[in-house]
Amino acid sequence: MFLKVIACEIAFREICHCAATSPHVIDTEFLPQGYHDTPKTGLVEIQKRIDALPAGRFDAILLGYGLCSNIIAGLKSDHTPLVIPRAHDCITFFLGSKERYQEHFTSHPGTYYYTSGWLECIRRRGEKSLQQGTTFMPRTVKDAADATYRQWVEKYGEEEAKYLLETMGGWADSYNRGALIDFDFTKPLQLAGQVQRICADQGWTFEEVRGDLDLLRRWLDGAWDEKDFLVVPPRQQVAASFDDTVITAVPPASAAETGKA
């Protein structure tokens, strides 16, 4: 098959590693990390890439995104099937399955996960260090928070905006552990030291978690079982399923009704 991959750069190394051993011909395109912070913008940008593809060129379009704040809800292709892993967010890609992610989430709540892409995306955008954002989040996340704060000031006034910012800012307090999801091929990058320093700054415990490429490998190899992948027929749209399947395919009218619900 000739497959087109449109994915977040957060999974650049992992996708390229799996693509190198896939039996299929794969054309990759990576979009900047951070669109899940502004999902409406991300949805538009991903749809632009899909719409730009000519009919009949690819056997399938593989979208390397989780549901991620509904960033993929509403996406469609008029002529080529879309293939999407069933995942709430990209951590599922690196742990190998949504079930393993759920196991980690249940057994280790309060964990902030790091990967090679998470750490390298900062450099790809030209940022010198994590300190341009906070000690543990890239600047795009801080920029999104700053933009939200400005909107609150305009809508509610500065005093109420400060109260909301302080209240919402407490989300970071729920973390107490940093976990690096690492692979044999990323060991030479020596990422553990970077994450250990971040965890030390935050007062978190640090742990390395062995990554699993099974989900990404099957996605790129064309082994699209219904349990782990959604194949969206042409002219149907992606929608959140609100159950264990995570996402589903619906006619455009049904997608609009789902959004209103």
Q: pLDDT digit string (tens) for 190-226? A: 899 989 988 888 889 999 999 999 999 999 999 999 9
Name the pairing type of β-strands 205-210 and 177-182: parallel
CA distance 219 to 214: 9
Are 112 and 175 within 8 A, CB to CB?
A: yes
Are 132 and 139 within 8 A, CB to CB?
A: yes
In terms of pLDDT, which residue wins out, 201 or 53? 53
Other CB atoms within 10 Å distance of the CB of residue 205: 13
User: CA 122, 125, 127: angle at the middle one, nearest 5?
Assistant: 60
User: In the predicted model, what is the mean pLDDT of residues 97-120?
Assistant: 89
CA distance 75 to 90: 17
CA distance 233 to 60: 10
- Nearest C-alpha neighbor of 245 from the set 69, 105, 67: 67
Q: pLDDT digit string (tens) for 127-147? A: 554 443 344 444 444 555 565
- Nearest C-alpha neighbor of 101 from the set 126, 59, 66: 66
Q: Which DSSP letter does residue 76 get?
A: B
Task: Supply the mean pLDDT for the chain.
Answer: 84
